[in-house]
Structure 1
């Protein structure tokens, strides 16, 4: 195999940040061929799909791949419930004669921003102020899955790290900086302390072994 292509089907555009993690995990487990990653952008379809099964069908029609990652934030639901929803949607797509490639569930607890809250250097660089000395209070790794709203915490850290005040702070676009945090992290191994990340990595390893990649 000269190239491995994967598609990420996610809850929203902000979740594209997960692609840095997924690519790192594939490379970490000896997928040495070129990796082509694509986010399934279904927002501009004339009739955007309403169910996850329909999104899988449309996503694969538009973005065919060797490996499909399906993301759902756990939010307040048990991880097992989100996984069951994904499996049911995959079965729905298969019943409609969709050729579904190997599939991996991506279910952060509670949301994907929790997986970006451990690298202070990446946050400072993404904020555009790498030499800033504003104290940043990052949560402990062990507590990330218990945080009620990781997105708010990450946004707050980026605002603080920017060092901006007044009008410049109000004009500061924090959303695009979230993707940059993920891109700037070179090592996601600290996340192995988290149960949801352990499960994701184990699923990826299993697929790699089954497919002989």
Structure 2
């Protein structure tokens, strides 16, 4: 295989920040060919689907791929329930004669922002203030899955790291900085302390093992 193309179907546009993590995991597990990554942007459709089944079908039609990642934040539901929802939708897609490629469920506990709350150096760079001196109190990585609102914490830390005030702080685009933060982190191995990340990594290993063409 000269190129591995994967598509990420996610809950929202902010979840594009997962893509550097997914690419890192594929590289870590010996996918050496070129990797092309696409985020399934369904917002441009006349009537963007809300239910998972039509979202899967539209994603595969618009963004054909060798590997499909389907993201759902666990939020207040269990990981098992989210996986069941995804697998049931995939089964329905197959019944409708949709060709479904190898697929992987991406289910962070709570929200994906929790997976970006561990690299202070990258966070300061993403905030545009790499030499900032204001103390940043990042959560204990072992407790990230217990945070009630990791998005709020991440946004607050980025604002604090910027050390901006007044009008400049109001103009500070936090969403863009979150995506930049994900791109700046070059080692996601500390996330192996989290159960949801461990499960994702194991699933990626299994898919690569059963599809050696990816190597």
Residue in structure 2 matched with residue 171 of structure 1 by the alignment: 171
The TM-score with structure 1 as length reference comes to 0.99
CA RMSD of aligned residues (A): 0.6
Moved segments of 4+, more than 3 Å: none
* 1:49 shift after superposition: 1.4
Q: Secondary structure at the match of 1:160?
A: helix
- Aligned pairs for 1:24-35 (under 5 A) are 24-35=24-35
Residue in structure 2 matched with residue 2 of structure 1 by the alignment: 2
Residue in structure 1 matched with residue 52 of structure 2 by the alignment: 52
Rounded to whole Å, the distance in 1 between the matches of 2:132 and 2:174 is 17
Residue in structure 2 matched with residue 138 of structure 1 by the alignment: 138
Are positions 1:73 and 2:73 aligned together?
Answer: yes
**Is there any run of 5+ residues in structure 2 with no aligned partner, and where?**
none
Rounded to whole Å, the distance in 1 between the matches of 2:18 and 2:168 is 29
- Aligned pairs for 1:112-131 (under 5 A) are 112-131=112-131
Q: Secondary structure at the match of 2:35?
A: strand
- Summarize deviations over 1:23-79 as a string: whole Å, max 9, x none: 000000000000000000001101211310110000000000000000000001111
* 1:166 shift after superposition: 1.2
Are positions 1:182 and 2:187 aligned together?
Answer: no
Residue in structure 2 matched with residue 97 of structure 1 by the alignment: 97
